[in-house]
């Protein structure tokens, strides 16, 4: 077999995807999983902003499109993601939050990962109810200083008016976090992104999780799904070495 036709060696980089409609808790859970497993959360918005700020070729292309008021193409997003996956911190594994959103994006992602000797090890669908999402999103707000998320009903700061993480008193609410906008976003999700569930089910990597419970309970359920996957890819020593938590998964 010619050298250039050999398959790349299987990498030690677990790749996880969190699927779910707006407000399902993908961002919150991704941050928690980062700490528990030493993974890197990669969200499309953050990747675009970072690439533009760093002035990479893909970042320059994205900036040009955004300044013209256009939508950044899949090719540009894939190039930015390819660049980011090459950074040393991603070698321990990544959690994709907000990408892919469509079947073509999922297919392109699979090809990108295959070239790196990696694959989607689990696409975890956070199952939620639409009406509950409207309530959940319309009540959320964040710390303007550190980005910590809160909610009027489910997660108030321990001390009223003060961020638990950094002590800031600057809280902000997104202008589009209202019932009408959320309903429209849910319609778009079901039409465009939900088919990914069938795609990853056919790929054999789909996991589903009821995400209507308490945040901590959902985190624990995700941990039980992800821990054996990370151990399988990185090994037991790898999971301990890459963890940011000193007491990572000592049980279960």
Residues designated catalytic: 26, 101, 140, 174, 185
User: What share of residues in the chain are helix, strand, coil (percent, to 5)?
Assistant: 50, 15, 35
Element spanning 16, H or E: strand 15-19
> DSSP string spanning 108-143?
HHHHHHHHTT----EEEEEE--HHHHHHHHHTEEEE
In sequence order, the β-bridge partners of residue 14 are none
Residue given tokens 């950094």 in the structure block: 166
List of residues 6+ apart from 180 with CB closer than 8 A:
none
Angle at Cα 21 formed by Cα 87 and Cα 46, nearest 5°? 25
């Amino acid at each position: 077999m010619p050298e250039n036709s050999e398959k790349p060696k299987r990498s030690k980089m677990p790749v996880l995807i969190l699927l779910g409609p707006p407000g399902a808790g993908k961002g919150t859970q991704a941050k928690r999983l980062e700490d528990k497993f030493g993974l890197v959360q990669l969200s499309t918005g953050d990747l675009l902003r970072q690439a533009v700020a760093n002035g990479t070729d893909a970042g320059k292309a994205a900036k040009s499109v955004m300044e013209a008021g256009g939508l950044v193409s899949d090719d540009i997003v894939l190039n930015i993601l390819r660049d980011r996956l090459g950074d040393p911190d991603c070698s321990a594994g990544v959690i994709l939050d907000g990408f892919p959103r469509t079947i073509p994006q999922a297919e392109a992602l699979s090809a990108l990962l295959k070239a790196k000797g990696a694959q989607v090890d689990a696409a975890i669908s956070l199952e939620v109810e639409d009406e509950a999402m409207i309530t959940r999103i319309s009540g959320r707000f964040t710390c303007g200083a550190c980005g910590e998320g809160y909610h009027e009903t489910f997660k108030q700061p321990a001390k009223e008016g003060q961020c638990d993480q950094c002590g800031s008193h600057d809280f902000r609410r997104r202008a589009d976090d209202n019932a009408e906008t959320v309903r429209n976003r849910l319609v778009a999700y079901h039409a465009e992104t939900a088919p990914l569930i069938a795609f990853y089910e056919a790929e054999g990597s789909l996991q589903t999780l009821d995400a209507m419970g308490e945040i901590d309970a959902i985190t624990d359920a995700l941990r039980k799904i992800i821990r054996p996957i990370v151990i399988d890819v990185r090994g037991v020593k790898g999971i301990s070495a890459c963890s940011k938590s000193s007491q990572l998964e000592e049980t279960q």
